[in-house]
Structures are given as structure tokens and as C-alpha cells.
Amino acid sequence: MSRGQRSWRRAGWSLLVAAALSCGATAQSIDEKAAMNGSEDYQRAVEAWLRGLEPKVIGGKPATAGQFPWQVSLDVSWISDLYRAHFCGGSIYADEWIVTAAHCVVGTRPQDIVVTAGTTDLTTAGVRRNVKEIVVIKGYVGARKGKDIALLRLFEKLPLGPQIQAIPLVEAEGFEDATRFTVTGWGATSQGGRPVRQLQFLENLPHVPLLQCNRPLSYDGAIKPDMVCAGFAQGGVDSCQGDSGGPLTVHTEQGERLAGIVSWGEGCGQPLKYGVYTRVAKYADWIRACVASSLTCERR
Ligand code: ARG
């Protein structure tokens, strides 16, 4: 080891120790420290685990096994309790590809995430897969700026069956005013609450036209054409923390289709503060290009 490397190491360690002392944890090795960094949702799960907090869709109902076979949980790979490890949702696009939100995985390394499929209950392991590659779309800067989409390529294919299925993307980019969506997730069932063990679903969630979602008392112009809003003006029914990355689906004659990705919102279930989702159809070509060749699609 050269002298330069050695002093870099020493500086690295003192930073680590300072960081460890400041958050009240025990000293960690350099690798462990890296494993604790990641997206905000990833860190939320890590911090709740460090603090020993009990982990946890507002107004939803528990899902039954196989009801949403495309839903997966993204988990912190080194936290063994699945419920505590959960930090985001995702949807199966193909046997080795998961669609999720960019904000869930940005800044996180593939080895720090495990994908769990085939279960509605975060006490039962289901089928677990390591991540080979994280593909965040080019130009992503933050959920509120749009482009909140990423793909995870799995090391091994998922065994598709009754409990594990891919969901096709919706074809149309626009939605009729009367469209009703379904959203699912293990996220908090109250604003500021913790994720839950049993997958929850919300159905008949009304589509909110962009004009309405952009009104001054809602998001006052912040909603971009690549976002979809859904919810009730009076609030009370919404996705929430921990649901991010998960599916917003629409029922068509051909079956259920992926219409959105849980992205952001001001609080959860607040009046006029609808849930904001990534408009997946806008990224259908991008998804197909990445699945065909992840190295040449437009990635960050
Ligand atoms: N960003 C949140 C997450 O990390 C999802 C927020 C959705 N919020 C809402 N009000 N619909 O899980």
C-alpha cells in the first residue's frame, strides 16, 4: 500500500468513527458504511432498524395471496427481518426485470438490495433475488422533477407462476377523467407511520387530471406531463412512505396494466394533495430499450 493510500484510509476511518459516534451506532468498517448509504427510502429503513423502531397504503385493505402477483418488495440486503428490511415497492416487468422509482434506488449499490417476490406477507420470505444491475434513467434529478423511474436487473430469473407474474405496461399515455386505479404496497397506513407486514391495496382511486392537480391549492404547477395524479379531493385515501416504487394499475379488457409508479406527494392523504405517480406509458420505449440492451439505453 502506498503512503497516499494509507493516509486516505486513516482519514476515511476517522470520518467513519465520527459518523458512527454522531448517530450513536458502533464503529463500522468501510464496507458496512457504504452499505448504509443509499436512496432516502433505503436510509429510512436502515435508520428505523438502527433505532429499533417497529416498522410499517392509507385506507387500504389487506391483499390476499396471488391477488397482485407482480408486486415485489425492495429490501435492505443485510437486514434479515424482511419487515424491517423493506424500503420500497416494485413491479415485475419480466422474469429478470423490476420496474421501480428512481428515487428508491439512486445512490444505492446492487449488492445492498434484495428483491422479494411471491408473498403478500413480509414475515414469509417468498422468492428472493439479488440485484445484478440498477438502471436509473438519464436526466433523473429528483422525484418532484419527474423521470422517477428505474429498472433492476436480477441475477437469476424469477419463477413465474400463480403468485409471481409480470404485469404489462398500459398502452395509452392519457387517461379518461373517469379512470379508476388500484395502488398496492407495504407502506405506512398513516402519515408518519411505519410500513406494514401485510400487503395493502386501494382500489377505485380516481384519476385526477393534470389541470386539477396543478391548481394553486394542490401542486400549483409542479406536476409535469410525465406524472399522473390520483386520489380524492377530501384526502384520506392515498399511498404513503414505503409504497414508493410500487404499482399503480388500471383495469383494461385485457387485464390489469401498469399505469404508474408510486413517486411522491405532500404528506399522505391530505386534502387536495393527491398522490403523484410516474406516467409509465411515457417510458415504455425506454423500458423496452433497456431490457433489450441495458448498456445502450439512456441511463444515468
Ligand atoms: N416518497 C414516498 C415513499 O418513499 C411515497 C410517497 C407517496 N406519497 C403520497 N402521498 N402518495 O415511499
Q: Which domains does the chain have, with CATH numbers?
A: 3-51 (no CATH), 66-166+291-296 (2.40.10.10), 180-281 (2.40.10.10)
Q: Using CB atoms within 10 A of its CB, is residue 254 exposed (0-12), middle (13-18) or buried (19+)?
A: exposed
Q: Give the pLDDT of residue 27.
A: 39
Low pLDDT (below 50) residues in the chain:
1-29, 53-56
For residue 273, give the ligand 1 atom closest to its CA: 10
pLDDT in tens, 47-90: 766 665 433 367 889 999 999 999 999 999 999 999 999 999 99
14-23: which pairs have CB atoms within 8 A and are 24 or more residues apart? Answer: 23/50
Hey, whose CA ends up nearest to atom 6 of ligand 1?
264
Instruction: Specify the pTM.
Output: 0.83
- Ligand 1 interacting residues, C-beta cut-off 6 A: 41, 187, 238-244, 262, 264-265, 268, 275
Best of 108, 182, 268 for a ligand 1 pocket test (most atoms within 8 Å of beta carbon): 268
Atom nearest to 243 CA in ligand 1 = 12
Question: Could you say which DSSP state residue 169 is in?
Answer: B
419527474: which residue's cell?
Answer: 146
At 295, the amino acid letter reads L
Known catalytic residues?
103, 148, 244
Q: What is the pLDDT of residue 30?
A: 52
Query: What is the per-residue pLDDT for 121?
Result: 94
* Ligand 1 nearest-atom number relative to CA 276: 11
Q: How far is the CA of 95 from the centre of ligand 1 (A)?
A: 26
Q: For residue 127, how far is its CA from the centre of ligand 1 (angstroms)?
A: 25
Per DSSP, which regions of the chain are E strands?
Answer: 61-62, 71-76, 86-94, 97-100, 113-117, 127-136, 150-154, 180-185, 200-208, 227-230, 247-252, 255-264, 275-279
Nearest CA to ligand 1 atom 2: 241
pLDDT of residue 51: 62
268 alpha carbon to ligand 1 midpoint, in Å?
Answer: 7
268 Cα nearest atom in ligand 1? 10
Closest CA to 187 of 87, 81, 39: 87
